[in-house]
Amino acid sequence: MVSSEVHPALNRTADGGRHAARAARKVVLSVEGLRTEFQTSDGVAIAVDGVSLEARQGETLAIVGESGSGKSVTALSIMRLIPSPPGRIVAGEIRYGDLDLSAISEREIEKVRGNKISMIFQEPMTSLNPVLSIGRQMTEAIETHMGLARQDARTRATDMLRRVNIPEPDKRMRQFPHQLSGGMLQRVMIAMALSCDPDVLIADEPTTALDVTIQSQILDLMRDLQRDFDAAIILITHDMGVVAEMADRVIVMYAGRKVEEASVAEIFAHPRHPYTRGLLRALPVLGRPSSGDTVRLEEIPGIVPALTDLPVGCRFAPRCAFATDTCRAEYPPLEEKARGHLAACWHADQIAGT
Amino acid sequence: MSTLQHIAAEQTPEEEASRPRSARWRFLRAVVANRGAAVGLAIVLVLIVAAVLAQVIAPHDPMRMGAGPRLAGPSLAYPFGTDEFGRDILSRVIHGTRLTLQIGTIAVGISLTAGLLIGLLAGYAGGWPERILMRSVDVIFSFTETLIALAAVAVLGPSLTNAMIAVGIAAIPFYARVTYGVTLVERNKPYFEAAIAAGAAHTRLIFVHLLPNIIPPLIVVATLGVSTAVLAAAALSFLGLGAQPPSPEWGAMLASGREYISRAPWVMIFPGLAIAISVLAFNLLGDGIREALDPRQRKE
């Protein structure tokens, strides 16, 4: 049904070209074998287990997975925002330039945060301090990181608001978060995140809390700004529709592990992990059911296993239609199944063929 | 809405000029909209005026003995009567407002400052500072405030200044608890994490982000705390551990008038009324501020 042709949600690939220059792009941030654990009353929960990724300049890397898959913890680990205790980065390297962000001091990471690597959050309404004006909050970061005088910082902040298409930026600077709408606030968050000209922008479900029309505006805005600022975007989402619209490369995570990674076209055309395949089949596509014979959206049975009580072998096996005894006995290695296409599944080839 | 702007305006003087000036005004209006708070505010203002102008408005010298007949009942010349030494009670009550307001502000100042520091530090730092600070606070909390104040006075010696300090110290755990609670709530809100993600360091997080959000509930607590402090200090003075004669402190006046209550009740009635009314006034005002700050009560 979906397998051999391009997934209908990915109509964007038709214009092509976007991925051609990929190999030449500079890697600005790379994560190697990241492992983040949380001490819980039920034992140690390994929220992120051996995840590696590369963020390239001017590209969008999407990290997809359901709640509890470890996608947000991966992002927070990069920012070193894991609350500790109970959380801890126990292994892995987070390379940014010649820094290993997992190992440097708190003081050093403060210089990187919000400056070279910035983040936008899921809930713009609560991510701004309610008692400080928009202007105050924007200039704060600019003053600290860029060493600008207050007046210059204000000018820059106003410019940034203008660039995220906020009307009357001067007036908005004086207003407080409760006086702006959710979509407006997310624009402010984006303006703040980009105000110090970061190399990497981590967006943790930036459109989840917004209604659909605003969602598409925000996504368009992020795409436009990426072109201007040439930043690497790491986009955390559970929405395959957003992935199709935004991403260049996709990482699919399940129960703390990376289970598949490929270019966005590859992922939609030839998913090689049954979990990815399940995600895609659970996606409604406009106009897909041909008249008369309706197609039911498929679901993935079961739920994500508890991180303190993971199955032996493949973590997806209990929910997988393809699972065999091998799957239940041994975790499949993450291997390159096709050029630039990694998957951790014993039956990857079989799945690609269905 | 306006209340938040009001608080923020206090925190960021450099931006005050650019903010509509009506914000502060609207906050005041919200407080006064509550009738009880309006009355409370009026009485507090009267107390302040009386304290400032005591020299001018008091008809007699509060300390002068034999200014009139001894234990004379209220009359035109001595509206509140005179005490056992012939001193004018009205003048003494008026001068007493100075001491009362002093006690209120100094005692609350001590407990607010110390409590704010302890609660903020414990709530922000977490880990072992939190455990040590908050467990100590819990231990002190398990004694009644009066007992702690008595112990403090016993150590420091009886005097009005020491009574203020004692009352201030005794209330620290309460302020620390309140601050700690609010700090925990605020630091778990997304904006706090967002501020860290934007690269804010400890001092900035505490003073720019946390403090302005913690101040509003503390203003309420402190206003209500003034009445508790006034009452506690009066109690200490009544026990002879606070203000010493001939100081016109209301609690001390009650204590010295005790013997004459059947013969000359006005000796106790007027200082007693003064305490009751000023405590009531601060309670009403505190309640009004709390209501004005309550987001559910706000209307745009």
Task: Yes or no: say if B130 and B176 are a contact pair by the CB < 8 Å rule.
Answer: no
The reported pLDDT for the residue numbered A21 is 47
Helix (H, G, I), strand (E, B) or coil at B240: coil
Q: How far is B208 from chain A (nearest CA, A)?
A: 8
- Burial class of residue B11 in the structure, from the number of CB atoms within 10 Å of its CB (0-12 exposed, 13-18 middle, 19+ buried): middle
Res A291: pLDDT: 52
Give the span between the Cα atoms of A73 and A90, in whole angstroms.
13
- The H-assigned helical ranges of B126-243 are 127-141, 145-156, 160-187, 190-197, 202-204, 211-238
Measured between beta carbons, the chain B residues lying within 8 angstroms of A123 are 190
Confidence band of B41 (pLDDT split at 50, 70, 90): very high
At a CB cut-off of 8 Å and minimum separation 6, what does B89 contact? B78, B80, B81, B82, B83, B253, B266, B267, B270, B271
pLDDT at A240: 87
pLDDT at B17: 44
B15:A136 CB<8 A: yes
Among candidate residues B166, B242, B263, the one with its CA nearest the CA of residue B253:
B242
Q: Of B202, B194, B146, whose CA–CA distance to B171 is shortest? A: B146
As for the ipTM of the complex, it is: 0.74
Residue A41: the pLDDT is 85
Q: What is the pLDDT of residue B109?
A: 95
Q: Where are the alpha helices (DSSP H) in chain A?
A: 71-78, 106-112, 134-146, 150-163, 169-174, 182-194, 212-229, 240-246, 264-269, 274-281, 325-329, 348-353
Helices (H) and strands (E) in chain A, counts: 12, 12
What whole-number distance in Å separates Cα of residue A198 and Cα of residue B197?
A: 13
Q: In chain A, what residues touch B12 (CB-CB under 8 Å)?
A: 132-133, 136
What is the per-residue pLDDT for A3?
Answer: 43
Contact in structure between B119 and B110 (CB atoms under 8 Å): no
Check: CB of residue A30 under 8 Å from CB of residue A51: no
Closest-approach residue (CA) in chain B for A109: B199
Please work out, in degrees rounded to the nearest 5, the angle formed at the alpha carbon of residue A208 by the alpha carbons of A204 and A212.
140
Confidence (pLDDT) at B273: 94
Contacts of B209 in chain A (CB under 8 A): 129, 132
Beta-carbon separation of B199 and A132 below 8 A: no
Of A254 and B10, the one with more pLDDT: A254
Q: Which of B7, B193, B215 to mutate to test the interface with A (most CBs of A within 10 A)?
A: B193
DSSP letters for B59-83: SS-TT-TTSS-TTPPP-SSSTT-B-
Q: Is the pLDDT of residue B7 over 60?
A: no
Residue A143: CB atoms within 10 Å: 17
pLDDT of the residue at B4: 45
Mean pLDDT of B87-108: 92
Contact A150 B4 (CB under 8 A): no
Distance CA A200, CA A235 (A): 11
Beta-bridge mates of residue A118: A201
Alpha-carbon distance of B144 to B147, in angstroms, equals 5
**CA distance linking residue A57 with residue A48, whole number of Å:** 24
Contact A150 B14 (CB under 8 A): yes
User: Which segments of B126-144 does DSSP mark as H helices, in order?
Assistant: 127-141
Using alpha carbons only, give the angle B187, B190, B193 rounded to the nearest 5 degrees.
Answer: 65
- C-alpha angle A151-A152-A154 in degrees, rounded to nearest 5: 65
Cβ–Cβ gap A132/B12 under 8 Å:
yes
Q: Say what the pTM is.
A: 0.75
The single-letter DSSP state of residue A132 is: S
Q: Do B201 and A129 touch (CB under 8 A)?
A: no
- Mutate one of A82, A129, A208 to test the B interface: name it (highest B CB count within 10 A): A129
Burial of A127 (0-12, 13-18, 19+ CB in 10 A): buried
In this predicted structure, the answer to whether residue B247 has a pLDDT above a threshold of 50 is: yes
Question: Are residues B4 and A81, on separate chains, in Cβ contact within 8 Å?
Answer: no
pLDDT (0 to 100) of residue A8: 57
A203 Cβ under 8 Å from any chain B Cβ: no
CA A313 vs CA A305, A322, A346: distances in Å: 13, 14, 11
A115 touches chain B (CB under 8 A): yes
Among residues 48-107 of chain A, which lie with CB inside 8 Å of chain B?
A: 79, 81, 85, 107
What would the mean pLDDT of B102-109 be, rounded to a whole number? 93
Q: Which of residues 18-47 of A touch B (CB under 8 A)?
A: none
Per-residue pLDDT of chain A (354 residues; tens, 9 = 90+): 444 455 555 655 444 444 444 456 888 899 999 999 898 888 888 889 889 999 999 899 999 988 888 888 999 999 988 887 788 888 889 999 888 888 888 888 888 888 889 998 888 888 888 888 899 989 988 888 888 888 899 999 999 998 888 889 999 998 888 888 888 898 899 898 888 888 999 999 888 878 888 888 888 888 888 888 889 999 999 888 889 888 999 999 998 899 999 999 988 888 889 999 888 888 777 666 555 556 677 788 888 888 888 888 888 888 888 888 888 888 888 888 888 888 888 888 887 766
Q: B121 to chain A, minimum CA–CA distance in Å?
A: 17
pLDDT of residue A9: 57
CA distance A264 to chain B (A): 28
Average pLDDT across chain B, whole number: 85
More confident call, B130 vs A114: B130
Q: Report the distance separating Cα A199 and Cα A96, nearest Å.
A: 10
CB A86 within 8 A of CB A103: no
**Phi, psi dihedrals of residue B94, rounded to the nearest 5°:** -65, -45
- For the cut 50, the answer to whether the pLDDT of residue B9 exceeds it is no
Interchain proximity A81–B204, CB inside 8 Å: no
Flag if B198 and A176 touch (Cβ within 8 Å).
Answer: no
CA distance A138 to chain B (A): 10
